[in-house]
């Protein structure tokens, strides 16, 4: 018996057919499948390509699939989820069970192996998501970069630009961020970077990349950069505490999975996040998952079939 896990995003989509012990039978990667960034027909084409590549590796396995779990970005709205579900059902053999849900579940289960907990994703965007002991899910944030998404790469990059231009105008504290921005954009003076920022095709990604400048300045002791880190880390802690208070008992030591590029520098954020959680009289266990999110999708697929995976599963999907 096999399952297929899908981790679908705005830049690429990965699928793996696996056994319950984590043994990988077939894997493939195709283009974006976020319904907010590609149209319905492009999404369907990418999923068709994914299935074709998987069948080329093990045709019989594909037709022996028990369950497909697709954890995908951009399917938070019921209408969108239903649309993706229908596409998958149409493309798969009739006997296959299909579950579509948000990609945060992939990230959560990559750290908890299907058990309850909280996941905080801090990449280009940010979201805090939980599933409790009753199977109830909830979220804080993840509403898009125009709504703030504090703790994300975009938020840090936006704060860097704001701090630099406030200093340039004489309204803010001088900061090393300014010189690092000039270096990054190879510009002579700060106003020269405006064109590069606003004319960028993928403006969100461009601004998010500036988060590394904030971290670099913070490493050098820059107080403005450290203030940006502090502000965003406090928000991260509050988001975790919010879900923990709403969905878990105060007695629970809740596993909190931290994933996304921002947490490559967990050293800058961890103490602040933990302090904020403690201020709410809560206990959390912060963990960085060893597995890739696609491993969490496989875990979710087996969980839907009532199968619990063990810790040996992690080794197969370790980054």
- Residue 238's region, left for phi above 0, alpha for psi from -120 to 50, else beta, is alpha
Equal fold, 2-102+291-316 vs 115-288? yes
Residue ranges, the chain, pLDDT below 50 = none
> Residue 228 has which token pair?
């940006």
Residue 135 has a pLDDT of 93
Closest CA to 214 of 194, 229, 230: 229
Residue 314 has a pLDDT of 80
What are the tens digits of pLDDT across the range 268-293? Answer: 999 999 999 999 999 999 999 989 99
Residue 319 has a pLDDT of 61
Instruction: Sketch the domain layout of the chain as residue ranges.
Output: 2-102+291-316, 115-288
String of DSSP letters for 56-82: HH-HHHHTTEEEEEEEETT--SHHHHH
String of DSSP letters for 128-183: EEEE-TTS-EEEEE-S-GGG--TTSHHHHHHHHHHHHHHHHTTSS---HHHHHHHH
Fold adopted by 115-288: Nucleotidyltransferase; domain 5 (3.30.420)
What are the tens digits of pLDDT across the range 113-140? Answer: 999 999 999 998 899 999 999 999 999 9
What distance in Å separates the CA atoms of residue 287 and residue 279, rounded to the nearest whole number? 19
Closest CA to 258 of 75, 115, 101, 110: 110
Residue 43 has a pLDDT of 97
pTM: 0.90
3-state helix, strand and coil shares in percent for the chain, rounded to the nearest 5 = 50, 20, 30
Q: Which CATH number fits domain 2-102+291-316: 2.60.290.11, 3.40.50.460, 3.30.420.40, 3.30.365.10?
A: 3.30.420.40
What distance in Å separates the CA atoms of residue 15 and residue 72, rounded to the nearest whole number? 11
Other Cβ atoms within 10 Å of 214 Cβ, number: 29
What distance in Å separates the CA atoms of residue 244 and residue 250, rounded to the nearest whole number? 8
């Amino acid at each position: 018996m096999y399952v297929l896990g899908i981790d679908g995003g705005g830049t690429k989509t990965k699928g793996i057919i696996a056994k319950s012990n984590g043994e990988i039978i077939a894997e493939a990667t195709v283009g974006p499948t976020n319904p907010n960034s590609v149209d319905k027909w492009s999404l369907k084409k990418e999923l068709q390509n994914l299935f074709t590549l998987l069948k080329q590796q093990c045709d019989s396995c594909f037709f022996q699939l028990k369950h497909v779990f697709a954890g995908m970005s951009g399917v938070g709205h019921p209408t969108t989820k239903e649309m993706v579900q229908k596409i998958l059902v149409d493309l798969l053999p009739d006997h296959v069970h299909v579950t579509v849900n948000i990609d945060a579940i992939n990230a959560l289960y990559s750290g908890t192996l299907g058990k309850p907990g909280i996941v905080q994703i801090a990449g280009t965007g940010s979201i805090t998501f939980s599933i409790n002991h009753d199977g109830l899910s909830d979220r804080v944030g993840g509403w898009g970069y125009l709504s703030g998404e504090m703790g994300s790469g975009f938020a840090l990059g936006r704060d860097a630009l704001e701090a630099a231009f406030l200093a340039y105008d004489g309204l803010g504290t001088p900061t090393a961020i300014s010189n690092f921005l000039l270096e990054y954009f190879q510009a002579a003076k700060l106003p020269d970077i405006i064109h590069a920022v606003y004319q960028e095709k993928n403006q969100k990604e461009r601004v998010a990349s500036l988060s590394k400048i904030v971290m670099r300045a913070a490493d050098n002791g820059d107080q403005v950069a450290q203030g940006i880190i502090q502000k965003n880390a406090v928000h991260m802690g509050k988001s975790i505490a919010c879900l923990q208070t709403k969905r878990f008992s105060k007695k629970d030591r809740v596993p909190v999975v931290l994933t996304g590029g921002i947490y490559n520098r967990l050293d800058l954020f961890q103490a602040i996040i933990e302090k904020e959680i403690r201020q709410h009289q809560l206990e959390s266990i912060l963990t960085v998952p060893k597995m890739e999110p696609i491993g969490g999708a496989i875990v979710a697929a087996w969980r839907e079939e009532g199968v619990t995976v063990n810790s040996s599963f992690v080794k197969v999907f370790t980054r």
